Amino acid sequence: MHAHPRTLHFKEDIIQASFDGIKHKLETTFVNADVLADKDPHC
């Protein structure tokens, strides 16, 4: 933990990073439906 401390919003930051990485390739990549639903309910 000392080498790689977590921010106060670590869990949300990970979800956002996942969404940012997959949002532009929905048709070509297996994606986590929970992440998409959380970040963009219109997907």
Per-residue pLDDT tens over the stretch 3-17: 888 889 998 898 888
**Contact criterion met (CB below 8 Å) for 36 and 19:** yes
Distance (Å, whole) CA 13 – CA 8: 9
What is this structure's pTM? Answer: 0.52
How many Cβ atoms sit within 10 Å of the Cβ of residue 35?
Answer: 20
* Tokens 């929905």 belong to residue: 26
Checking if the pLDDT of 39 tops 70, the result is yes
Q: In the numeric block, which tokens belong to residue 8?
A: 């106060």
The predicted model gives 22-33 an average pLDDT of 67
Contacts of 32 (CB under 8 A, 6+ apart): 18, 22
